[in-house]
């Protein structure tokens, strides 16, 4: 399609150019059916292949399909032609958070609000086995209500990218925000590296400048490795302690996200204008709350069902076949029954079973395997009050070990309540498409 035509795939009316890079341009656009404002990212396939960034594109699509949360920029759909790849993205009207801190520090309560939203988003990513690896104010966008949206997952990693030592080894990120252990090339925990980056961001929000800065990169890395930085006089003692714990150069001693959330400075105040789950932005996941009802899983609508149907998966246009690390089952039971059954089967298999949030359970092996502890997310989505889709995803460990547990333990253990499994069979695809037809009046994706 020629971009000058202004109408993309008969669905989006393209407007002004919002930005551009070496191989992509981003346009403001309007959904012709709903009137919703979106951002359309147009990627030149030839340039991407020539530069060698196709794996980065694949990774970004795979990750953004997995992480749907009110504080993460929403990927609505992916379209493609022979020469172009198109992302339809949530439109962040407020621009980059970087623009707000480029010239001055933020007021403490405003900085805290953005930091709370950032930590909630990063925590959600980690629960889905996703590590961002390039967190910085330029990649944090704001919507029209000044709510933070994490974007740009091109350098992110999935848990199954870990080596046999259970660590990530790719050196990437932005020098001023990257954790010192990433630079050493000896391997690192993705979650610990993201926490360091969040610590740098918190410092920048409160100070108005970077904690580590030097025209000589070697000298800057030396300072980072020894945590050599100073606080401006206006930093509150509680904020100082939190930043120091996040910027601990030893990842083993670095504070964890649960402890960040329990920190007294972090808990001060309440998030104002929390993202609405029913807004047209279509943000895709529940905000995690301690008092959430774990028996009420998120709903799926027609758009969500389409993305799970093999016949409608456009990412196959530029992704090679690979060994599956996920499986889906349709179950005709109430969510509480499914949760109980999953807990029973997990314990029978000798796995720890933990509830993380509404509709999400985590199953972990007791012993370490070939690639660390096998960890599986079991997520429940509501189609109707008594029909649910259960999605199993490996988020850590060896794929062959996961396949064995799935096929020899989980699948047989759930057999008495499974309606049908979705591993690409034609019959299940037809059922999903029929479900879509029944709900086709719902055009905007909701939280899942």
User: Which domains are seen in the chain, by residue range?
Assistant: 3-90 (3.30.200.20), 96-267 (1.10.510.10), 302-438 (3.30.310.80)
pLDDT in tens, 138-185: 999 999 999 999 999 888 887 767 776 667 777 788 899 999 999 887
Confidence of residue 271 (pLDDT cuts 50, 70, 90): low
Could you tell me if 125 and 86 are in contact, meaning their C-beta atoms sit under 8 angstroms apart?
no
Q: Which of 2, 99, 123, 134 is labelled catalytic?
A: 134
Going by the annotation, the residues of the binding site are 41
Closest CA to 331 of 250, 391, 287: 391
Average pLDDT, integer, range 57-84: 90
Cα→Cα distances 216→175, 197, 211, 212, 220, Å:
11, 20, 15, 11, 6
End-to-end CA distance of the chain: 31
Mean pLDDT score across all residues of the chain: 80
pLDDT value for 159: 72
Q: Is the pLDDT of residue 54 over 80?
A: yes
Average pLDDT, integer, range 73-86: 92
Average pLDDT, integer, range 307-330: 56
Higher-scoring residue by pLDDT: 43, 321: 43
Average pLDDT, integer, range 401-414: 90
Confidence of residue 274 (pLDDT cuts 50, 70, 90): very low
pLDDT in tens, 218-235: 999 999 999 999 999 999
Going by the annotation, the residues of the binding site for ATP are 41
Token readout for 47 is 């340039």
pLDDT in tens, 33-46: 999 999 999 999 88
Q: Is the pLDDT of residue 261 over 90?
A: yes
Confidence of residue 270 (pLDDT cuts 50, 70, 90): low
Average pLDDT, integer, range 84-103: 91
Angle between the N-to-C axes of helices 190-207 and 108-127, in degrees from 0 to 180, rounded to the nearest 10: 170
pLDDT value for 117: 96
Confidence of residue 355 (pLDDT cuts 50, 70, 90): confident
**Has 134 been annotated as catalytic?**
yes
Radius of gyration from C-alpha coordinates of the chain: 22
Cα dihedral: 67, 70, 73, 79 (round 10): 70
Sheet holding 75-80, edge to edge: 7-8, 12-20, 24-31, 37-44, 84-90, 75-80
Average pLDDT, integer, range 441-447: 40
Tally the C-alpha atoms within 13 A of residue 10's C-alpha that lie toward its C-beta: 0
Could you tell me if 168 and 161 are in contact, meaning their C-beta atoms sit under 8 angstroms apart?
yes
Which of 11-25, 305-319, 353-367, 393-407 has the least mean pLDDT?
Answer: 305-319
Q: Which residues pair with 120 in a beta bridge?
A: none
């Amino acid at each position: 399609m020629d971009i000058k035509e202004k109408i993309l795939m008969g669905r989006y009316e393209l407007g002004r150019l919002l930005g551009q890079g070496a191989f992509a341009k981003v346009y403001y656009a309007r959904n012709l059916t709903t009137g919703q404002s979106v951002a359309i990212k147009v990627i030149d396939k030839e340039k991407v292949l020539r530069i060698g960034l196709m794996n980065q594109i694949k990774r970004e699509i795979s990750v953004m399909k997995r992480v749907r949360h009110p504080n993460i920029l929403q990927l609505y759909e992916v379209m493609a032609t022979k020469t172009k790849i198109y992302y339809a993205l949530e439109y962040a009207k407020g621009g980059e958070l970087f623009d707000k801190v480029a010239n001055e520090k933020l007021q403490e309560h405003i900085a805290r609000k953005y930091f709370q939203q950032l930590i909630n988003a990063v925590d959600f990513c980690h629960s889905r086995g996703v590590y961002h690896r390039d967190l910085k104010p330029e990649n944090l966008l704001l919507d029209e209500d000044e709510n933070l949206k994490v974007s740009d997952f091109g350098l992110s990693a999935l848990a199954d990218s870990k080596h046999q030592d259970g660590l990530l080894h790719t050196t990437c990120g932005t020098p001023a925000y990257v954790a010192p252990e990433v630079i050493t090339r000896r391997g690192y925990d993705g979650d610990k590296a993201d926490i360091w980056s969040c610590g740098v961001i918190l410092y920048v929000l409160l100070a108005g400048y970077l904690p580590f800065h030097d025209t000589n990169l070697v000298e800057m890395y030396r300072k980072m490795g020894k945590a050599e930085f100073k606080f401006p006089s206006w930093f509150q003692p509680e904020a100082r302690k939190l930043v120091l714990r996040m910027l601990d150069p030893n990842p083993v001693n670095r504070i964890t996200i649960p402890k960040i959330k329990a920190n007294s400075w972090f808990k001060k105040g309440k998030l104002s204008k929390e993202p609405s789950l029913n807004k047209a932005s279509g943000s895709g996941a529940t905000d995690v709350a301690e008092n959430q009802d774990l028996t009420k899983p998120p709903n799926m609508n027609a758009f969500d069902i389409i993305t799970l149907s093999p016949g409608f998966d456009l990412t196959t246009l530029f992704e090679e076949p690979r060994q599956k690390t996920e499986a889906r089952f349709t179950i005709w039971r109430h969510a509480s029954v499914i949760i109980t059954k999953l807990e029973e089967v997990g314990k029978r298999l000798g796995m720890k079973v933990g509830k993380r949030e509404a509709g999400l359970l985590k199953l972990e092996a007791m012993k370490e395997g070939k690639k660390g502890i096998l960890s599986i997310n079991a997520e429940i989505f509501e189609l109707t009050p008594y029909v649910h889709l259960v999605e199993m995803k490996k988020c850590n460990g060896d794929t062959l070990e996961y396949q064995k547990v799935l096929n020899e333990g989980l699948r047989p253990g759930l057999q008495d309540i499974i309606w049908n499994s979705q591993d690409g069979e034609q019959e299940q695809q037809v059922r999903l498409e029929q479900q879509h037809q029944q709900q086709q009046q719902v055009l905007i994706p909701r939280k899942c």
